[in-house]
Amino acid sequence: MLILITGVTKGLGRALAEWYMANGHTVVGCGRSAEILEMRFTYPAPHDFAVVDVTDENKVALWSEKVTGVHGSPDILICNAALMNNPAPLWKVPAAEFNKLIDVNIKGVATVLRHFVPPMIARGTGVIVTLSSGWGRGTSPEVAPYCASKFAIEGLTKALAQEIPSGMAAIPLNPGVIDTAMLRQCWSTEAAGYPKADAWAKIAAPFILQLGSKDNGQSLSVTGFAE
């Protein structure tokens, strides 16, 4: 199975990619950090990793052309790339920080979908998973920009689910609370009390594999691990 993951160099994206590759699937991924070069060396063809900023329309378009030309359209597309704001009351979050988060978390997802969903539609099959959050269905103080972005992802994905043909699926997925750099940005050392990304992926990766048209438009959550 061909699985495309954005934000693949760290956190949940990296954990998913490593589980899928270890279990016989081909992974195509992108990220902005130099760790992409390490992944290219560690995981050669048929896997394919590229330095792509999901907020750059032209670069995403070129990446999509290359990926679909070499690999075809993905069986599963996982939009994972996202940023967290530094915790602060909304009025204290600098405009530049707020705008960058919205650019990545919402507009970046839309850009990836704009270029990868059409070939999936042309084939008539495929599952689109957008990583949402508990903060896309509820709120907490000092993470208002992140909450806004994930509420938007819920709405965007559920509307997309009404637009794609039968046989496909678009699903906003709450991964649960995982000890990642993003969570540590919010909760500091408290994040250490939650499951690590690798342990989470052992549950989440096969869960995503079994998603299909029956799940189209549903807000789902990864469960079954100790939180």
Region at 7 (left for phi over 0; alpha for psi -120 to 50; beta for the rest): left
Find residue 220's DSSP bridge partners: 173
Find residue 31's DSSP bridge partners: 51
Which distant-in-sequence residues (6+ apart) come within 8 Å of 150 by Cβ?
A: 105, 132, 133, 135, 136, 137
Pairing of strands 126-131, 76-79: parallel
Query: Considering only CA atoms, which of 117, 21, 135 is closest in space to residue 76?
Result: 117
Whole-number Å distance between alpha carbons of 133 and 199: 18
Bond preceding residue 46 cis, omega within 30 of 0: yes
First to last CA, the chain: 30
**Contact 129/79 with Cβ under 8 angstroms?**
yes
Please give the positions annotated as active site: 146
117-104-206 Cα angle (round to 5): 55
